[in-house]
Amino acid sequence: MKIICTRQNLIQGVSTSQRAVSTKNPLPILSGILLTATNNQLELKGTDLEMGIQCIIPCTVQEEGSIVLPAKYLGEIVRRLPDTPIQIETQEGVNVVIRYGQSEITINGFSAEEFPGFPNPQGKNSIIIAEEDLKEHLRQILFATSPDENRPVFTGVLLEAAEGTIKLVATDTHRLALKEINASSELQETNVIIPGKTLNELARVIGAADKNVTISIGDNQIIFGMEDTLFISRLIDGQFPNYRQVVPQGYKTRIRLKTKELLEAVERASLLARVGTQIIRLSIEEEKIIITANTEVGRIHEEVAVYLQGDTMQIAFNALYLIDALRAIGSDDIYLDLSGPLSPGILRPVEGDDYLSLVLPVRTI
Amino acid sequence: MTKVILLCDINSFFASVHQALDPGLQGKPVVVGGDPAKRTGIVLAASVEAKKRFGIKTGMTVAEAKARSREVIFVSPSFKEYVKFSTSINKILKDFSDLVEPCSIDESFVDITGCLKILGSPLEIAGKIQGRINNEIGVGVNIGIGPSKLVAKMAAELEKPNKIIPLTLEDWPHKIWPLPVKELFGVGSRIGRWLNQVGVKTIGDLAVLPPDVLKKRYGLIGEVLHHSAQGIDFSPVDPQAMDVVKSVGNQITLPRDYLGFDRIKVVILELAEEVAQRARRAGCLGNRVSLTMKDPNFFTETHSRTLYSYTDITQEIYDEAVFLLQKHWHEEVRVRLVGLTLSGLLRKEETQLNLLVERDKQERIDRATDLIRSRWGQHSIKRAVSLTDCGVYHER
């Protein structure tokens, strides 16, 4: 293999495909990125066997071929290269020379044959969605996933498509986020759980204006196709809990308030809330909501102006859950709907009814 | 004003309790140990006589101790009695000062700084305490007297048994510095090994070691060690120090080595039941589960995992432990001992509610079994697997 490409393209290709490479994988070959040169393009692939990322960058191919290079070193090297044309050439065996200007680096790689094959992208049900939009949807949902690998279902995001709408749902059993998207295309009914890790990495590489992502769903895999990048990920097996059951219909108390005011008050209260439990108390009154925390560190009393509709109420929450939800909501004005001190609190943007997030309260004696 | 702190350390506590309960054992070499048939045959304590005459030490196997002499009398441990004795001893100490900090079952610090005007000199007070413990409880006690907890503790170790030993900072250099460094309070086996490697053999060597060296290696603990070697200790006597339960754990040496996850899981479930029940009784929730396993060659491994949410539910603790078992243990390796601990405890004052109904169900099952047990006894209800030959708790 012998190619010449720009530094900019190389950085983009390496840093994108590197996202699928796990530093903790026991298989040495998986610590590498597969580089394949054909038809004046360089294809870079990384995988941890759960998720694979393929990225294509333009280059001049002087000699076709392929090689696997250690992702960590390749990434560090290309970021530090000068802005000149860069030549990559395989040597005898599995060495590679990277030439830039009058200088060169030789690094040892692995044989391309050892690299596991990518599953053939196969998916029937295609959804097309703008990159910018998907990035924002993911931001609003992903915070509610759980890191608990012992219960894999909760580490993922449910994608449910039916009757022209797509729903994205995530929950760690203490809070839940739900986003509804109107899909223009004809959709088959779908119900899959996508690993949160895949979506986190995806959210980092997408976001370009006027570009689309094509989502194809297969039997046990999902593919996100961008202009020159492809994400392939395994789906999570299991039954996602029935989220419809837990979202209360109606409310006893509705307050309307400024997101920023409540967020800042809760953030301050969180500083004093006890480490570990993070419990703050909310007292909802006629024209204000009083937020308090009282611990061995000290006491805090915060007031935020609200419009109240319905009953006054006392409720306690984990401050961190409330902070995450308020940050994710992406709207200046919100409703907080409550049905009792032991029922979930529901946050909705005042504008639009395509998003809600639900936080379960803390039962205090 | 300089403080006056006492450290009361009961001599050979477990053995002394048995001697106090049974006059026939007094003055005899008594050894408290487990049952070798159940493979728990380790010396937990030896009476003063057994130590002096036959050199029997805590941690020896019962077989080794038996080989030393036929005169030795073996008794089985009785933890209820130990707790009872410990409570009575601390009650006596509280007659002298309200600042009593129990630091283990047989050791307590007493701050008598404020009582000197009323009760007399430190030596007089220590004498009175010793007299009452000797007469009312019937056990020997070592009392160290010093200006800090550290000095009192070191003093109490100097001479045994049933002695009162005052120690001042002026005496510190010639009495304490010649001692091996591992005798210093706060130096464990790991730090001791490192200190020996860098040429620190005695406490005096440690005292002259530049503090920077210690700080670089052990951070804050290094700094404390530097002060400790000089006899300086800033920690107050805190009567509430032991009130906070930090973890609940149980472990069991199996009657025979177990092979296969299915069999070990039975033991884990029994332990989880025990641990979760203890946490619930203490009104605590924990978020860290640790599983300890020992193989027949006494190779021991402990693995822990922090849970996503706090729990006192048997099933959740069990699930975590099984996860740890499958992740870290080889199914082909036999298991001699299993231990399970729940830590990261906090008071169950508040409960984060959960979306899942299934968790609610588990909580109700636990509550129901607790109620049945509190009314009809611990063995009135048990898991069906406990009745198989893998169960270890049914015979207890």
B192-217 pLDDT tens trace: 888 888 888 999 999 988 888 888 88
DSSP output for A220-283: SEEEEE-SSEEEEEEPPPS----HHHHS-SS-SEEEEEEHHHHHHHHHHHHHHSPTTT-EEEEE
Q: Give the whole-angstrom CA distance, residue A322 versus residue A262.
A: 9
Q: Give the whole-angstrom CA distance, residue A95 versus residue A98.
A: 10
Higher-scoring residue by pLDDT: A43, B70: A43
| Binding-face residues of A in 251-310 toward B, CB within 8 A | 276-277, 279
Amino acid identity for residue A167 in this structure: K
Name the pLDDT band for B396 (thresholds 50, 70, 90).
Answer: very low
- Cβ atoms within 10 Å, residue B245: 16
B343 touches chain A (CB under 8 A): no
Residue found under tokens 């995001």:
A157
pLDDT > 70: what percent of chain A? 97
CB contact under 8 A, A174 and B356: no
Task: Give tens-digit pLDDT for A14-58.
Answer: 999 999 998 888 888 999 999 999 999 999 999 999 999 999 999
| A248-359: CATH topology | DNA Polymerase III; Chain A, domain 2 (3.10.150)
Q: Give the whole-angstrom CA distance, residue A172 versus residue A243.
A: 12
Alpha-carbon A92 to chain mean position: 41
For residue B68, give the H/E element and its range: helix B62-68
pLDDT at A121: 67
Q: What residues does each domain of chain A span? A: 2-114, 125-245, 248-359
The DSSP letter of residue B394 is T
Residues A299, A310 contacting (CB under 8 angstroms) = no
Q: How close A318 gets to chain B, by Cα (Å)?
A: 8
Q: Give the whole-angstrom CA distance, residue B274 versus residue B366.
A: 11
The DSSP letter of residue B326 is H
pLDDT at B395 over 60: no
Higher-scoring residue by pLDDT: A123, A323: A323
B384 touches chain A (CB under 8 A): no
pLDDT at A188: 78
Mean pLDDT of B85-105: 91
Domain covering A2-114: architecture = Roll (3.10)
Residues B46, B29 contacting (CB under 8 angstroms) = yes
pLDDT at B256 over 70: yes
In chain A, residues with a C-beta closer than 8 Å to the C-beta of B349 are 364-365
Domains of chain B: 13-79 (3.40.1170.60), 173-229 (1.10.150.20), 247-387 (3.30.1490.100)
| Spatial CA neighbour of A365 closest among A251, A281, A272, A246 | A281
pLDDT at B267: 93
Q: Which residue among B64, B81, B101, B107 is the active-site one? A: B107
Task: Give tens-digit pLDDT for A227-254.
Answer: 899 999 999 999 998 888 888 888 999 9
pLDDT at B295 over 70: yes
Task: Give tens-digit pLDDT for A59-85.
Answer: 999 999 999 999 999 999 999 999 999
pLDDT at B365 over 70: yes
Task: Give tens-digit pLDDT for A187-204.
Answer: 778 899 999 999 999 999
- Cβ atoms within 10 Å, residue A112: 19
Q: Closest chain B residue to A147 measured between Cα atoms?
A: B308
The response to whether B366 counts as a known ligand-binding position is: no
In chain B, residues with a C-beta closer than 8 Å to the C-beta of A171 are 355
The per-residue pLDDT of chain B, averaged, comes to 88
Q: Please name the residues in contact with B368: beta carbons below 8 A apart, sequence gap of 6 or more.
A: none
| Binding-face residues of B in 256-295 toward A, CB within 8 A | 287
Task: Give tens-digit pLDDT for A275-307.
Answer: 767 899 999 999 999 999 988 889 999 999 999
| Spatial CA neighbour of B316 closest among B276, B346, B347, B343 | B276
Active site residue B107: yes
Alpha-carbon A357 to chain mean position: 16
Q: % helix / strand / coil in chain B, to the nearest 5?
A: 45, 20, 35
Q: Closest chain B residue to A247 measured between Cα atoms?
A: B355
Strand partners, A55: A44, A229
pLDDT at B266 over 90: yes
Q: Which of A146, A176, A363 comes nearest B308 by C-beta?
A: A146
The per-residue pLDDT of chain A, averaged, comes to 91
Name the pLDDT band for B134 (thresholds 50, 70, 90).
Answer: very high
Domain covering A125-245: architecture = Roll (3.10)
Q: Radius of gyration over alpha carbons of chain A, in Å?
A: 25
Q: Give the whole-angstrom CA distance, residue A177 versus residue A144.
A: 6
Mean pLDDT of B53-77: 82
Task: Give tens-digit pLDDT for B51-64.
Answer: 888 888 887 778 78
| Binding-face residues of A in 38-77 toward B, CB within 8 A | none
User: Which of the residue ranges A134-138, B51-55, B143-147 would you say has the lowest mean pLDDT?
Assistant: B51-55
Name the pLDDT band for A163 (thresholds 50, 70, 90).
Answer: confident
